[in-house]
Structure 1
Amino acid sequence: MTDWLITNADIINEGRRFHGDLRIKNGRIEAIGSGLTARAGEQVFDAAGRLLMPGMIDDQVHFREPGLEHKGDLATESHAAVAGGITSFMEMPNTKPPAITLDALEAKFRLASTRAVANHSFYLGATNDNLDVLRSLDPRAAAGIKVFMGASTGNMLVDNPDTLDAIFRDAPTILLTHCEDTPMIEANLAIERARYGDAIPVERHPYIRSREACLKSSRLAIELARRHGSRLHVLHISTAEELLQFAPGPIAEKRITAETCVHYMQFDEADYATRGNFIKCNPAIKSASDRVAIIQAVREGRIDVLATDHAPHTLAEKSQPYETAPGGLPLVQFALQCALERWFDGQLPLELIVEKTTHAPATLFNVRDRGFLREGYFADLVLVDLQTPQTVTRESVLSKCGWSPFEGMTFRSSIAATWVNGRLACRYGKFDSNIQPGQRLEFNR
């Protein structure tokens, strides 16, 4: 059923918050107003004053399919995303095989067309030797091109200076970079091994994957982008120093933009003592002053997008010693609630959280007809209950890995309902029995 009348909602969209109703017809928003009355054949949903906003668009996830399905897959992780109010995702190329050819890229779209319950797109991955493939990409066929300028999960490090220069010069669409300097990280790791042997404490993670390594790499990416006029989006900013490289202001006016992730606003290095490898990620979660600076940068517009970098690993993998435990956190199910904690704490206004999680990624990637509550746009919606807290338990986790870095935490909001393409897909974590696959995202490029 894709014809709905949502009444009595606290609507937040494009910087405004107002009481009203919203009509969905054939999967799209037909009307937004007040006093709308039900038509024959419509289902009525009383929002009861809860917050209605566009569904979150997550520009950075790792759903692990194909090849790493023991960690997660397109079905399990997209269900977790929808339960958390994420209606569209853009997935990274470091799967097995990696999406570094056009055929491998399209194979992932075919998988998602029947398995992903959220709308979706994928990135083409850069390597040291696939420049011709990158040049041949139709900008409308993928979310963008991902460049690993620091080694992370998978083996896709691009460290040839000539290749990097050519990628920034010739890329036909937006470039997204993971910025950490691998030689610096390896030198730091050698120092820690000499000190601790094979028992490096996880608390050393932010000093191994250091702020200097992040800053050196992001400076290089920005230098290359400025040299060639590239459209650059720097992912998962984790340090105060890096923030000074990005200008405040509206995202539509920028050629170089920045993203951070919800966990960098929630945790800091003091949390390693209790959460250990469960918050080990790349780049590393760093100091409390970095966390404060990141929130301030979101507020002033230096950071343009909030995302997750959802990257599940099994409990067994995360339970290994520091060096062998992989970096990455499962986040999509609770990401929006985590972001909303910044509102409860008086740090960010609701309107800005909606901007950074929905409007900004839609604008940045030129997503067609999504990311806003506008008549004629797809009805990708999330209804948030600001009055009903939710405590995260291991049993409540929908990601295949079965654990969460937020376990034991109580968020002061709940996700009441999520509509994807006009269909009511999920209510308080319970899915519609006839839930449908999401759609391939289209781009106005």
Structure 2
Amino acid sequence: MLVKNAKIIMGTEEVMVDILIQDGKFVKVGRNLAEDLKEEILDAKGHYVLPGMIDAHTHMRTPGFTHKEDISSGSKAAIRGGVTSFFDMPNTDPATVSMEALEEKRNMYQGNSYADYAFYFGGTRFDNHEEVQKAAEETVATKIFFNVSTGDMLVEDDRILENIFHASKRVAVHAEREMVEKAIQLARKIKKPLYLCHISLEKELEYIREAKEIGIEVYGEVTPHHLFLNEEDREQTEETKLFLRTKPELKTKKDNEALWKALQYGILDTIGTDHAPHLLEEKKAKLTFGMPSVEHSLEMMWKGVEEGKITLPRLQEVMCENPANIFGLKTKGKIAVGYDADFVIVDEKDHSEIQQEEIISKAAWSPYVGQKRGCKVLTTVLRGEIMYHEGIFGKKRGREILKHE
């Protein structure tokens, strides 16, 4: 494949290039590659071409909750949103807390995903550190819940926490408020990389900044909904009081502003959607936490570029390059020779409203319906194969990333 007339970000510069792809890899990036003409030509028409998004925080609901989402519908929504790789969390049913459960999950995923994927492993209050150790090289991180979780995944015993940290290659945590500081201190003591999921409060940013200043390997993630939505949005109607409920909860406008600044200036490192779909009837029936988000993350985050809250080079860093670097994905996250040819073409001038009828997720709703997008995803390519182009999807060809790195 030859991609013509592509506007890419190199460092802080915008450059117009052609991109040559062979055997699913980028092999040349430069000007006037017509002499390398291939049978398949994709004309980007001067639009921006970014590396495929890497979403390091999703709940695709397979196994156990496939009426809300499944690997096929969730990965299709991801591809529609320009996300070519995602990591799935372990709080499924059964939870991914044993090697047996991990293998069962792998079998369910194989051949059923549109995007590439990797798995988290879960720690439990029953101290499964021996299983954690077995899974450490086969999963992106161990997920530990410090505050709240379903089933047996809330870990409160300090001895068990230390055992799981020791057994892990890297640790990702659901930690809020003072628990953020506790997780950081554990990471410092045991010398393990720490990934803090869905940071939502200005106060939590102080813990991260201080940790980075003294050299602790800690990374902060923020979700689009904690950037764009707040308590005022949630309290608007009786429906939004039910629909716009997440863990962590939405915070204040002041927190929104602090998170944006922290993302631009390096205190926060990644965008993770925490894609957590529930059906609307479930949200209406009882208080249920979580929202679908993966298919509009890039289109919404581009609004931040339009509004001057984040630069485009920084957006590419936090949605593509940083997740790959943090989690050790050697072939993902860049448009560069030798990397997987994962990329997305966007129309940066399309600010149309997000419509209900365009939703791909099985949850069939989005907190962003009715909002104007910052850009529109036109084309998503995975390892040199067009997976989405102007409403048409390719065949499922996603595979487990860590098995092929």
Q: How does 1:229-244 map to 2 (within 5 A)?
A: 229-244=191-206
Q: 2:124, 2:152 within 8 Å by CA — same for their partners in 1?
A: no
Q: How does 1:127-276 map to 2 (within 5 A)?
A: 127-129=124-126, 130-139=128-137, 141-168=138-165, 170-179=166-175, 214-247=176-209, 255-274=217-236, 275-276=240-241
Q: 1:15, 1:355 within 8 Å by CA — same for their partners in 2?
A: no
* Secondary structure, counterpart of 2:274 in structure 1: coil
Cα deviation, 1:127-167, whole Å, max 9, x if unaligned, reads: 0121221122242x111110011213454211122211222
Moved over 6 A (4+): 248-251
* Secondary structure, counterpart of 1:282 in structure 2: coil
Report the residue type matching 1:428 in the other structure. Answer: E
1:442 aligns with: 402
Q: Given the alignment, which residue of 120, 124, 138 partners 1:123? A: 120
Q: How does 1:376-391 map to 2 (within 5 A)?
A: 376-391=338-353
> Alpha carbons of 1:15 and 1:174: their partners in 2 closer, same or farther (altered >3 Å)?
farther
> Hey, what's the Cα distance between the residues in 1 that align with 2:96 and 2:10?
35
> Hey, what's the Cα distance between the residues in 2 that align with 1:345 and 1:178?
30
> Hey, what's the Cα distance between the residues in 2 that align with 1:13 and 1:318?
43
Q: How does 1:101-112 map to 2 (within 5 A)?
A: 101-112=98-109
How much identity, in percent, do the aligned residues show? Answer: 31
1:328 Cα deviation (Å)? Answer: 0.5
2:376 aligns with: 414
> Hey, what's the Cα distance between the residues in 1 that align with 2:11 and 2:326?
15
Q: Given the alignment, which residue of 366, 369, 374 partners 2:336? A: 374
1:309 aligns with: 274
Q: Given the alignment, which residue of 388, 392, 403 partners 1:430? A: 392
Q: Given the alignment, which residue of 50, 73, 79 partners 1:53? A: 50
1:364 aligns with: 326
1:105 Cα deviation (Å)? Answer: 1.0
1:41 Cα deviation (Å)? Answer: 4.4
Q: 1:367, 1:444 within 8 Å by CA — same for their partners in 2?
A: no
Cα deviation, 1:168-207, whole Å, max 9, x if unaligned, reads: 2x1231100001xxxxxxxxxxxxxxxxxxxxxxxxxxxx
> Hey, what's the Cα distance between the residues in 1 that align with 2:124 and 2:325?
27
Q: How does 1:90-105 map to 2 (within 5 A)?
A: 90-105=87-102
> Hey, what's the Cα distance between the residues in 1 that align with 2:56 and 2:162?
24
* Secondary structure, counterpart of 2:110 in structure 1: helix
Q: 1:50, 1:385 within 8 Å by CA — same for their partners in 2?
A: yes
Report the residue type matching 1:262 in the other structure. Answer: P
* Secondary structure, counterpart of 1:247 in structure 2: helix
Q: 1:13, 1:54 within 8 Å by CA — same for their partners in 2?
A: no
1:42 Cα deviation (Å)? Answer: 2.5
Equivalent pairs counted in the alignment come to 400
> Hey, what's the Cα distance between the residues in 2 that align with 1:132 and 1:436?
34
Q: 1:59, 1:361 within 8 Å by CA — same for their partners in 2?
A: yes
Report the residue type matching 2:88 in the other structure. Answer: E
Q: How does 1:279-298 map to 2 (within 5 A)?
A: 279-298=244-263
1:443 Cα deviation (Å)? Answer: 7.9
Q: CA RMSD in A?
A: 1.9
> Hey, what's the Cα distance between the residues in 2 that align with 1:134 and 1:299?
34
Cα deviation, 1:7-39, whole Å, max 9, x if unaligned, reads: 111112444321111111111111100111164
* Secondary structure, counterpart of 1:136 in structure 2: helix
| Residue ranges of structure 1 left out of the alignment (5+ in a row) | 180-213
2:363 aligns with: 401
TM-score, normalisation: structure 2: 0.95
Q: Given the alignment, which residue of 65, 68, 71 partners 1:68? A: 65
> Hey, what's the Cα distance between the residues in 2 that align with 1:337 and 1:299?
17
| Residue ranges of structure 2 left out of the alignment (5+ in a row) | none
> Hey, what's the Cα distance between the residues in 1 that align with 2:164 and 2:76?
35
1:55 Cα deviation (Å)? Answer: 0.5
TM-score, normalisation: structure 1: 0.86
Q: 2:2, 2:37 within 8 Å by CA — same for their partners in 1?
A: no
> Hey, what's the Cα distance between the residues in 2 that align with 1:441 and 1:367?
8
